[in-house]
Amino acid sequence: MENNNSFNSTADNTRGGLHIPMPRFSESNPADQAMTSAMMKVLRSVRSAASPAPASPTELERQRRSQQVLGRLASPLLGLSWEPFDLKGMPAAWVRPERGHDPRKVVLYCHGGGYTSGSLDYSRVLASKVANRTGYEVLCFEYRLAPEHPYPAARDDALKAWDYLMLLGYGARDVVLMGDSAGGNLALVLTLLLRDAHRQLPRRLVLFSPWTDMTLSGESYERCAASDPSLTANYMQATRDAYAPGLDWRDPMLSPLFGDFTGFPPVMIQVGSQEILFDDSARLHERLLAQGIPCRMECWEDLWHVFQMFPLKQSDRAIGHVADFLLELF
C-alpha cells in the first residue's frame, strides 16, 4: 500500500445497484489532488470546445490528429527502444526494455480510440509505461479504423497480431493481452474468438476502462454524465454506429459483456470513478466472478477514462499495480 494513497479493500461497488467488493484508491496528498483537479478542468474545456461526436470527416480527422500528438508528446521512457515495422501490411511496433529482461514473456497491446481513431503513436504511451515497469516486451499494432473499415476489420487485425506472436515461437501462456477503452473491448473479443476456435488463451488479461457494452445500457452514462471530463454518450453512440452500423449490438463480438467467459484466464480491470463507462467495467467484473473467472477490479476515485496515460502520480501507482499483477504470473 502506498503511504499517501488511501485504500479500502473491503469497499463495495454500490454504484448502479452492484454490490461487489473491490479496492478503491484515492489521492490524499493536497498537491497531487490540485494537479488532478487542474488536469480535469483542462480535459473538460477541451471536450466542451470540441464536437461531441465524430460525425464528420473533418471532426474525425481532428480526433485522430489529437491522439497522435498525445502519443508523440509522451515519447518512450529512457531505457526503452521503439521499433516500428510492417506486419504483413499492418503498422506495428515493439517497445523493448534495453536493460536485462526476459524476452520470453510479451504483452500484446490493443489501443483505444472508439474503433475510429488511435495509432501507433497513441499506443506507445501506455505500452512504454508497462514495458518500463514490468520489463516485458510489448507489441503494439495499428488496426484498421472505422468508418472506412468497420467490424470485423479490427478483430481480424488483432488476430493477425496474435498469430504473428505464435509464429515467432511464443506460446499463448507467454502472452499477456492488454487493452484500453475500445482496445479493452478488442482484447476481450480476441479472447472469445480464440476460445471458440479451441485455441490456447493468453496468460492474463489487463483492461484499462474497457468498453464492454455497445448497447450503452450502463447506469453510469447518466450518473457520470456531468463528472466525466472526456467522454459523452453522443460520442460513444457515434463511434459505435461507425464501427458496427446496423448490427446486433448485444452480439458478444461487439459487446463482450454479454458473452460466456468459460475458460478465460484471470483478468485485471482498472477504472476511474468519474467515467461514463464505469458500469462497463463493474458489470464485467460482476459477470466474470459469477462465471468463476478470477477478476481483480480497481476503482480509482476522482479519475477519468484511461487516466493511466496522463502524467499523474496515481497513474504511476496504477501501472505499478498492473506490474505486480503480471509479475505474479511466473
| Catalytically annotated residues | 181, 275, 305
Residue 30's SS3 state is: helix
Q: How far is CA 146 from the centre of its chain?
A: 18
Q: At what angle do helices 153-168 and 182-196 cross, to 10 degrees?
A: 70
Nearest to 125 by CA among 112, 106, 143, 144: 112
CA–CA distance from 127 to each of 34, 172, 214, 298, 314 (Å)? 27, 19, 26, 20, 17
- Full DSSP string of 45-81: HHHHHS-SS--SHHHHHHHHHHHHHHHHHSPPPTTEE
The one-letter code for the residue type at 202 is P
Enumerate residues 6+ apart whose C-beta is below 8 A from 268: 204, 205, 206, 207, 295, 296, 297, 298, 321, 322, 325
Contact (CB, 8 A) for 247 and 240 = no
DSSP one-letter code for 98: S
**Cell numbers of 168, please?**
515467432
Backbone φ, ψ for residue 26 (5° rounding): -140, 145
Say how far apart CA 163 and CA 183 lie, in whole Å: 18
> Where on the phi/psi map is residue 152: left (φ > 0), alpha (ψ -120 to 50), or beta?
alpha
- Max alpha carbon distance in the chain (Å)? 51
